[in-house]
């Protein structure tokens, strides 16, 4: 009986999602956080419903919260589309414009100095930590006995303050974005030196992004490359024809990377690597969301307190909210990890039903407005790179509090735009190396 009920729930959600797809998403997907967020939350919904047990009252409330939140979000997007429309012709026009790449000496000098500064920050961070799990994993692969899983836990749950949140802005976003920029510049200028530096940065990203034992930053790097590769093409260059080929290629790379890294970083044995990767995508966060909502249903509404504590955690010396640690302990028996609720579960906990009716609506409205603002501007290298990063950050918010948005690149992109806004006294000419 429960299987039939869940199938009915899936079909109902599919009807709502299909309505949103055909009347909004279909021709407005690329670089649109409103579309991507609906997709990521749909993926979350599938796993959560699969794990729900309707004998629990909290699971029924959770299901209702998911539907109300998603419908509210769709209303917000449609309201923004009504007031600030983005027509298909606007999208085609933007993708038909030339891709403008700034090859001035000033732009490349800023990019080079910022990349060197980022590398220095990352080296200092790993020196403070005492080890890099990418190098530790290599030693393990060479036959040395290494407890990669234990070191990974110690890295982000230790008592010593290392400023990891600030370092992550350089490690997970600024340096990867600069790496892509240098490859584009090298291709534009046909410069061996620029290509060599871009290649050095690309290799360093393995050391940097995999050094903490977390795969998510490298996966986001791959997604940024994927969406940027689609965004910089024009319609006349066969934009639509190459989209499916590019998507399939990146999907294969993604599955391969998730499988191999599961073994390399000590998360599973080789035989179960692919299974581990699929569970990570479809079940792990979803299970924590289910457990979190059952816990939420037993405690008082936070009325924004937990969100405030999470945001305060950005400040040096402030621990932030321990809610995710509590959920992790309920699942694994230890507080040395994070297990966030679903985004709609988090809204329910902090603002009750009132929040579910209004916060997703406002968020959907903002996501569409960002998309419209982006299409009104030129297709420049810095603008597209920044937009792709923000697009992914806003679009992937399916779990946790709004502080996730800050930790996943919003601060980094704002910092980049701030740096490039200021002029340095270098003649504005082509960089002829």
pLDDT value at 426 more than 60: no
User: Region 337-346: what's the mean pLDDT?
Assistant: 90
Q: Is the pTM of this model over 0.75?
A: yes
Buried-state track 77-94, b at ≥16 Cβ within 10 A, e below 16: bbebbeeeebeeeebeeb
d(CA 188, CA 296): 53
Most confident of 24-28, 298-302, 410-414: 298-302
Domain count of the fold of the chain? 1
Q: Contact, 293 vs 356, CB < 8 A? A: no
What's the confidence (pLDDT) of residue 433? 39
pLDDT value at 24 more than 80: yes
CA atoms within 13 A on the CB side of 195: 7
d(CA 51, CA 288): 10
Domain for residue 146, yes or no? no
Mean pLDDT score across all residues of the chain: 83
- The encoded tokens of residue 123 equal 């080296």
Residue 428: DSSP 8-state: -
What's the confidence (pLDDT) of residue 117? 94
Q: Contact, 391 vs 366, CB < 8 A? A: no
Confidence of residue 219 (pLDDT cuts 50, 70, 90): confident
What's the confidence (pLDDT) of residue 215? 76
pLDDT value at 335 more than 80: no
Query: Which of residues 61 and 417 earns the better pLDDT score?
Result: 61
Domain for residue 394, yes or no? yes
Confidence of residue 158 (pLDDT cuts 50, 70, 90): low
pLDDT value at 301 more than 90: yes
* pLDDT tens, residue by residue, 363-375: 999 999 999 998 8
Residue 225 phi, psi dihedral angles, 5° rounding: -60, -45
Buried-state track 339-368, b at ≥16 Cβ within 10 A, e below 16: bbbbbbbbbbbbbeeebbbebbbebbbbbb
- The encoded tokens of residue 115 equal 């990349």
User: Region 133-152: what's the mean pLDDT?
Assistant: 63
Domain for residue 375, yes or no? yes
Query: Among all chains, which residue has been given the structure tokens 């044995």?
Result: 269
What's the confidence (pLDDT) of residue 270? 47
| Residue 87 structural domain | 2-97+283-313+344-399
Domain for residue 25, yes or no? yes
pLDDT value at 321 more than 50: yes
What's the confidence (pLDDT) of residue 143? 47
Domain for residue 11, yes or no? yes
d(CA 260, CA 137): 12
Residue 104 phi, psi dihedral angles, 5° rounding: -65, 155
Domain for residue 321, yes or no? no
The helix (run of H) or strand (run of E) holding residue 60 is: helix 57-83
User: Region 108-120: what's the mean pLDDT?
Assistant: 93
pLDDT value at 28 more than 90: no
Residue 406: DSSP 8-state: I
What's the confidence (pLDDT) of residue 277? 62
**Sign of the four-CA dihedral 10, 11, 12, 15:** positive
Domain for residue 365, yes or no? yes
- The encoded tokens of residue 387 equal 């937009």
Domain for residue 59, yes or no? yes
Taking only Cα atoms into account, the Rg of the chain, rounded to an integer number of angstroms, comes to: 22
The neighbouring-strand residues paired with 430 are: 104
How many of the other CB atoms lie within 10 Å of CB of 409? 28
User: Region 282-306: what's the mean pLDDT?
Assistant: 92
Residue 380: DSSP 8-state: B
Query: Which of residues 431 and 190 earns the better pLDDT score?
Result: 190
User: Region 36-56: what's the mean pLDDT?
Assistant: 92
């Amino acid at each position: 009986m429960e299987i039939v009920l869940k199938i009915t729930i899936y079909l109902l959600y599919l009807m709502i999602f299909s309505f949103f797809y055909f009347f909004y998403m279909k021709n407005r997907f690329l670089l649109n956080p409103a579309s991507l967020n609906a997709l990521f939350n749909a993926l979350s919904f599938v796993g959560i419903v699969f794990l729900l047990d309707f004998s629990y009252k909290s699971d029924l409330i959770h299901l209702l919260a998911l539907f109300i939140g998603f419908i509210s979000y769709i209303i917000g997007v449609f309201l923004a589309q009504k007031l600030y429309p983005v027509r298909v012709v606007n999208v085609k026009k933007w993708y038909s414009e030339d891709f403008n790449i700034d090859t001035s000496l000033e732009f490349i000098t800023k990019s080079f100095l910022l990349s060197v500064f980022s590398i220095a920050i990352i080296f200092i961070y790993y020196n403070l930590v005492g080890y890099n799990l990418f190098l530790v994993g290599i030693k393990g692969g060479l036959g040395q006995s290494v407890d990669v899983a234990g070191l990974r836990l110690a890295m982000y749950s230790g008592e010593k303050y290392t400023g990891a949140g600030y370092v992550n802005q350089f490690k997970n976003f600024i340096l990867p974005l600069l790496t892509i920029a240098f490859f584009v510049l090298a291709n534009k200028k046909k410069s061996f030196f620029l290509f060599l530096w871009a290649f050095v940065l690309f290799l360093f990203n393995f050391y940097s992004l995999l050094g903490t034992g977390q795969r998510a930053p490298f996966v986001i790097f791959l997604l940024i490359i994927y969406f940027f590769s689609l965004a910089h093409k024009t319609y006349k260059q066969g934009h639509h024809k190459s989209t499916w080929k590019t998507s399939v290629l990146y999907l294969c790379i993604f599955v391969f990377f998730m499988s191999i890294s599961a073994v390399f970083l000590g998360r599973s044995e080789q035989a179960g690597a692919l299974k581990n990767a699929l569970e990570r995508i479809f079940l792990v966060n979803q299970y924590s969301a289910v457990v979190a909502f059952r816990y939420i249903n037993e405690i008082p509404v936070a009325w924004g307190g937990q969100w405030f504590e999470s945001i305060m955690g950005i400040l040096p010396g402030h621990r932030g909210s321990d809610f995710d640690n509590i959920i992790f302990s309920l699942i694994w028996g230890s507080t040395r990890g994070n297990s966030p609720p679903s985004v709609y579960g988090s809204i329910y906990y902090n603002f009750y039903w009132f929040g579910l009716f209004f916060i997703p609506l406002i968020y959907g409205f903002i996501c569409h407005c960002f998309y419209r603002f982006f299409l009104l501007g030129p297709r420049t290298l810095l603008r597209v790179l920044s937009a792709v990063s923000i697009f992914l950050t806003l679009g992937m918010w399916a779990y946790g509090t709004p502080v996730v948005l800050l930790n996943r690149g919003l601060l980094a992109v704002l910092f980049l735009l701030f740096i490039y806004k200021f002029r340095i006294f270098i003649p504005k000419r082509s960089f002829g190396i």
